[in-house]
């Protein structure tokens, strides 16, 4: 009887131990700290975040603004030239010419125009020296200056020479002249009779037509 009781007790103890071991995983699950689940952003949220600017926008300059504040050099194709006036005195002659901007945008002229005297066969007149001069007998000294020509505006210059000859002197005379705008390559050809008896013709730099004497 005693032995049977002990066996029953051992059986009950074994059952309790077995039951505790079986139920232990559920206890562990109850006390385990679960990882924090972070919600993944949707595709639409990512796109919206990308499209939303977070920095100061970059400012870009435009070619139009540069062009407006810095006019380009005048090309021969956008200009015309004409004789404006003539002065004479004490054997000296000065002829004023003016460039006109025929384009729709402003341009600039700076420096001396080119000048060539031609004979009746369009050949350069022999024995003539063209001299760049800041003044003439009829105009005051003025240094080179950049002239900005708005559409329709003018810039002028003078050519000057002495036409008095001695009784036995045969002065050369041009049939045409070629005028080239400053820093340009193409020229204008005008019919013009110029007789520089000293062999020298002075050319002044371009000036604003408003300041030309």
Tokens found for residue 77: 């194709």
Tell me the sheet residues that pair with 80: 100
124 or 44: which leads in pLDDT: 124
Q: Given a cut of 60, is residue 28 above it in pLDDT?
A: no
Model confidence band, residue 5 (pLDDT cutoffs 50, 70, 90): very low
Mean pLDDT of 99-118: 96
* Whether 55 contacts 90, CB under 8 Å: no
| pLDDT tens for each residue of 57-107 | 444 433 333 334 578 999 999 999 999 999 998 889 999 999 999 999 999
70-208 has which CATH code?
A: 2.60.40
What is the Cα–Cα distance from 12 to 146, expressed in whole angstroms? Answer: 117
Q: Where are the alpha helices (DSSP H) in the chain?
A: 2-31, 43-51, 63-69
| Entry pTM | 0.65
Q: What are phi and psi of 117, to 5 degrees?
A: -100, 135
Tokens in use for 122?
A: 């369009």
User: 99-113 in b/e burial notation, b at 16+ Cβ within 10 A?
Assistant: bbbebeebbbbbbbb
- State yes or no: pLDDT of 112 exceeds 70: yes
122-178: pLDDT as tens digits? 999 999 999 999 888 877 787 889 999 999 999 999 999 999 887 777 899 999 999
Q: What are the residues facing 184 on neighbouring strands?
A: none
């Amino acid at each position: 009887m005693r032995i049977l009781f002990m066996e029953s007790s051992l059986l009950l103890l074994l059952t309790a131990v077995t039951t505790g071991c079986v139920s232990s995983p559920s206890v562990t699950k109850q006390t385990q700290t679960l990882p924090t689940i972070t919600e993944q952003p949707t595709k639409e949220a990512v796109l919206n975040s990308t499209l939303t600017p977070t920095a100061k926008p970059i400012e870009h300059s435009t070619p139009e603004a540069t062009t407006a504040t810095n006019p380009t050099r005048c090309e021969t194709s956008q200009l015309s030239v004409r004789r404006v006036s003539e002065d004479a005195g004490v054997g000296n002659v000065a002829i004023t010419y003016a460039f006109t901007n025929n384009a729709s945008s402003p341009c600039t002229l700076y420096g001396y125009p080119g000048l060539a005297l031609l004979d009746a066969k369009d050949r350069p007149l022999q024995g003539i020296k063209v001299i760049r001069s800041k003044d003439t007998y009829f105009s005051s000294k003025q240094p080179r200056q950049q002239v900005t020509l708005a559409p329709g505006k003018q810039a002028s210059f003078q050519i000057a020479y002495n036409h008095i000859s001695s009784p036995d002197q045969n002065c050369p005379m041009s049939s045409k002249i070629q005028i080239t705008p400053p820093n340009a390559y193409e020229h204008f050809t005008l019919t013009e009779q110029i007789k520089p008896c000293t062999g020298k013709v002075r050319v002044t730099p371009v000036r604003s037509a408003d300041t030309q004497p």
